[in-house]
Structure 1
Amino acid sequence: MKKKYLFGLALACLAISACGEKESGIEKEEKSKIVTVSLGSKPKSLDPAMYNEIPSLSIVEQIYNTLFQIDENGKIAPELAESYEYITPTELVIKLKKGIKFHNGDELKANDVIFSLNRMIEKPATKVMLDAIESIEPINDYEVKIKLKEPSAPLLYTLSYPLTAILNEKYTKEKNGNIATDAMGTGAFKYKNWGDGEKIQLVANKEYFGDKAKIDELIFRAIPENTSRLAALETGEIDIATIAPIDVQTVEGSSDLYAVSFPTTSTEYLTLNTAREPFNNKDYRKALNYAIDKQSIVDAVYLGKASVANTIVNPTVF
């Protein structure tokens, strides 16, 4: 990977979403059978190991599960895993929950975990995240042992990241690994239809091992234009949408809509190719960095719904 120099715009952004029906609010959402969401652009892939943008992530998280999750306090909690134990600093034993079913009815087993992790190690997008792993071995149908090249403090957090979702070995092999538009996992929603990526339909997984969905169907629609997305929200064509900061006042001023804004782990920044002139000159890059008024961008573009970042890594990231 080529080194890219961070400069200029580095914003710790807030996620802003708007929901329909302010008066009935959450109560209406719980009674609804279908919820339609628009996140802007259509996803590029529903293969967990291949996504690199938010629309894909938002859908992948509904279909798949990871071995661990991060709770509201930022601590590691089991998800597909029942428990874990470091028997040495470089040997991790993970015990799986029994009875978890994939959407095709197959039970989650150790071979699925081993297959999924090895597949990630082979792919460029995920290899770097699991580079500390030397091997993964089965102990029995519900236990695996991960051997590390060296101790890795962030490993459990890595295994909670959506990129490391667990796949069904048999199904993935039947599809020759081509699951970008034919996803199948253990999540709260089942994949139903791709719709060219413009309208992706998911249905509730009635056999889900966790808290089951309160709706029957979840639809993701791609509406790239901010104004069109806001209009669809106002007319009730969609129920939830990510909106531009400039539209927040419109939403907050409506009696039928309400806005939710909260800190996320994302950072927006610009990068330069240091292999090209004049960006290979450190002083030139520093001059560009100093020339950009980041606070004014936060105030004018994001209307205060962000903060200036001091580094490429958001403060909320472990």
Structure 2
Amino acid sequence: MKRKISLLLCLVLIVSALAGCGSKKDELPNTEDRQDLTIAITAEPTSLDYSLANELNTFSIAGNVYEGLVRKEADGSLVPGLAESWTYNDDQTEITFTLREGVKFHNGETMTADDVVFSFQRALESKSTARMTGAIESVEKIDDTHVLMKLKYSYGPIEGCLANVNCAIVSKSAVEADPEGFGRAPVGAGPYQVVEWKSGEKIVMKAFADYHRGEAKIKDLTYMVIADSTSALVALEKGQIDVIANTQTSDKQNITSNANLQYDETIADSFFFLTFNNAEGLFADNVKLRQAIAYAIDKESILLGAMEGIGSVAHSVIPGNCFGAPENPDDYEYNPEMAKQLLAEAGYPDGLTINMPTMSSGYYVKISDILVDQLRQVGITVNQELMERTAYLQDVYTNCQYDMSVLSISALQPDADFITFMRYHSDYIGGGNNFTKVNNPKLDELLEIGRFDSDPAKRTAAYAELCQIIKDDAVLLPLVNPPVGVAGNVKLQGLKAFSDQSIYVYDLSWGA
């Protein structure tokens, strides 16, 4: 009898346990009334000042703080933003904007034409914004609700430029009151305003009640800095955060197998590459050394080892989704023996040692680790110098104090001009733009055809030749196009991955 009771008790306990092991989805609390959102980011931006913004994590966060005359929708379409309409002159070198009336800044002031003119004057003085403002000659006030933008030349992608955070409109009085502190306490006219910034920890925002499109459904927004991807995933699974802005490919399986989470993915409009300082140091005037390294690299192994095989190998400095991308780009094939031969011809028959500063996070470390191993096999010793993001960007990206390093850049707009002109034209050496310091008159000529010529066929031909020269001279070496993955609480509505890594928080809301 006791045995039967014991068996019955065990059965009851097993059934109870199984009931508790059902889908975690059933255990989620009701989120319908939630109005807060926490997004994990791997590193905080160096600044949220639009005139200094030149990196993706700045763009993705600042895009929720600012708005420009033109606004980019989540589907990529361009619509009126702080301007309600605009017209072009006959040769499309002048644009007259009618400003939206009653637009408020986060400090309560009403936007005027003076703020618009000031914002563009400030942007035009900054090298960091030049990719978006390079076609603009001037912006002038006509009256309180109209401004005239004069272009240096007719430029088809100009409206896309104006939707970028580099062309955002800011409060003139707020910048003038504290120009140094503006990057930490920005005042824009976007859907969210910054209320707190704890360095290395979090950036806290709140929905702007007077936003011209109406107050956002998510009222309290926090960007939490979690450098380690594993820690971020654990926090997401525990409900301590709600979104991971840019997931690691190694986490995809765990995310997609969890019923409490959602996942979306696309290919980025960016690429990782190995860059060389073409003007100073070890690689200056030594194309054979750069070519030797090119032949020593197995890109397929990098894609597999660093990104779980998700994404694609990069064969060109122009991503495939951009106008001007070559159809069948020429590229180096993995050939260690050729690498050794060129290494000897470059003056290093016994190999050499190269110092390589590396950003100490995410794909940068993974890619660099694989490169160290691949180059070792042809006699090149690479000393990695792991650096915190801010210091790395200052030394490598801005000041060009390096010989060789792994970087990534984004097109931001689907036109080759955006990802080539500032990167390879001699007028923009340094300052976070032409970080290879390449100075080639032929490249300058081709870049100018690509930017100024209105004939699509001539532009395409110019970009094809440009890509070939960059490849032949091994100015830099494209490696991989990464995926963009975003993960979040399954009850969050509207979450989607975008190629520019943006998260349009205004479009998000909680469901039951």
With normalisation by structure 1, the TM-score equals: 0.85
Q: Is the 8 A contact 1:31 1:215 kept in 2?
A: no
Q: Is the 8 A contact 1:43 1:197 kept in 2?
A: no
Q: Is the 8 A contact 1:83 1:96 kept in 2?
A: yes
Instruction: Kindly state the Cα deviation for residue 49 of structure 1 after the two structures are TM-superposed.
Output: 1.5
Instruction: Kindly state the Cα deviation for residue 73 of structure 1 after the two structures are TM-superposed.
Output: 5.8
Q: 2:305 aligns with which of 297, 300, 303?
A: 300
Match of 1:108 in 2: 111
1:88-107 pair list within 5 angstroms: 88-89=90-91, 90-107=93-110
Match of 2:295 in 1: 290
- Does 112-121 or 260-269 show the bigger shift? 260-269
Q: Which has the higher strand share?
A: 1
1:8-157 pair list within 5 angstroms: 23=25, 31-71=33-73, 74-89=76-91, 90-157=93-160
Cα distance between partner residues in 1 of 2:296 and 2:24: 43
Instruction: Kindly state the Cα deviation for residue 75 of structure 1 after the two structures are TM-superposed.
Output: 4.3
Q: 1:265 to 1:29 in 2, by over 3 A?
A: farther
1:105-149 CA distances to partner (integer Å, 9 max, x unpaired)? 212221111100000111121145323322211111111111123
- Does 216-225 or 277-286 show the bigger shift? 277-286
Letter of the 1:284 partner, please give it: L
Q: 1:247 aligns with which of 244, 251, 255?
A: 251
Give the structure, 1 or 2, with the largest relative contact order (CA under 8 Å, sep 6 or more): 1
Q: 1:125 to 1:39 in 2, by over 3 A?
A: same
1:46-96 CA distances to partner (integer Å, 9 max, x unpaired)? 111212333322221111101113345644322112111111432111111
- 3-state SS of the aligned residue for 2:272? strand
Q: Does 1:186 align with 2:193?
A: no
Instruction: Kindly state the Cα deviation for residue 209 of structure 1 after the two structures are TM-superposed.
Output: 1.4
Q: 1:175 aligns with which of 154, 173, 178?
A: 178
Letter of the 2:175 partner, please give it: T
Q: 1:315 aligns with which of 302, 312, 320?
A: 320
Q: 1:30 to 1:56 in 2, by over 3 A?
A: farther
Q: Is the 8 A contact 1:29 1:35 kept in 2?
A: no
Q: 1:255 to 1:234 in 2, by over 3 A?
A: same
Q: Is the 8 A contact 1:229 1:243 kept in 2?
A: no
1:179-258 pair list within 5 angstroms: 179-210=182-213, 212-241=215-244, 242-258=246-262
- 3-state SS of the aligned residue for 2:85? strand
Instruction: Kindly state the Cα deviation for residue 291 of structure 1 after the two structures are TM-superposed.
Output: 2.8
Letter of the 1:251 partner, please give it: I
- Does 180-189 or 27-36 show the bigger shift? 27-36
Letter of the 1:213 partner, please give it: A
Match of 1:261 in 2: 265
- Does 95-104 or 255-264 show the bigger shift? 255-264
Q: Is the 8 A contact 1:66 1:80 kept in 2?
A: yes
- 3-state SS of the aligned residue for 1:63? coil
Instruction: Kindly state the Cα deviation for residue 153 of structure 1 after the two structures are TM-superposed.
Output: 2.5
Cα distance between partner residues in 2 of 1:28 and 1:59: 28
Instruction: Kindly state the Cα deviation for residue 30 of structure 1 after the two structures are TM-superposed.
Output: 5.6
Q: Is the 8 A contact 2:67 2:189 kept in 1?
A: yes
Q: Which has the higher helix share?
A: 2
Q: 1:149 to 1:210 in 2, by over 3 A?
A: same
Instruction: Kindly state the Cα deviation for residue 314 of structure 1 after the two structures are TM-superposed.
Output: 2.5
- 3-state SS of the aligned residue for 2:58? helix
- 3-state SS of the aligned residue for 2:269? strand
Cα distance between partner residues in 2 of 1:253 and 1:273: 44
- 3-state SS of the aligned residue for 2:63? helix
Instruction: Kindly state the Cα deviation for residue 203 of structure 1 after the two structures are TM-superposed.
Output: 0.5
Q: Is the 8 A contact 1:246 1:302 kept in 2?
A: yes
Instruction: Kindly state the Cα deviation for residue 243 of structure 1 after the two structures are TM-superposed.
Output: 2.2
- 3-state SS of the aligned residue for 1:139? strand
Match of 1:280 in 2: 285
Percent identity (aligned) = 33
Cα distance between partner residues in 1 of 2:114 and 2:232: 43
Letter of the 1:52 partner, please give it: N
- 3-state SS of the aligned residue for 1:270? strand
Cα distance between partner residues in 2 of 1:135 and 1:187: 24
Q: 1:198 to 1:72 in 2, by over 3 A?
A: closer
Structure 1, unpaired ranges of 5+: 1-20
Instruction: Kindly state the Cα deviation for residue 151 of structure 1 after the two structures are TM-superposed.
Output: 2.2
Letter of the 1:176 partner, please give it: P
- Does 68-77 or 233-242 show the bigger shift? 68-77
Q: Is the 8 A contact 2:25 2:260 kept in 1?
A: yes
Cα distance between partner residues in 2 of 1:211 and 1:305: 39
Q: Is the 8 A contact 2:174 2:182 kept in 1?
A: no
Compute the RMSD of aligned alpha carbons.
Answer: 2.4
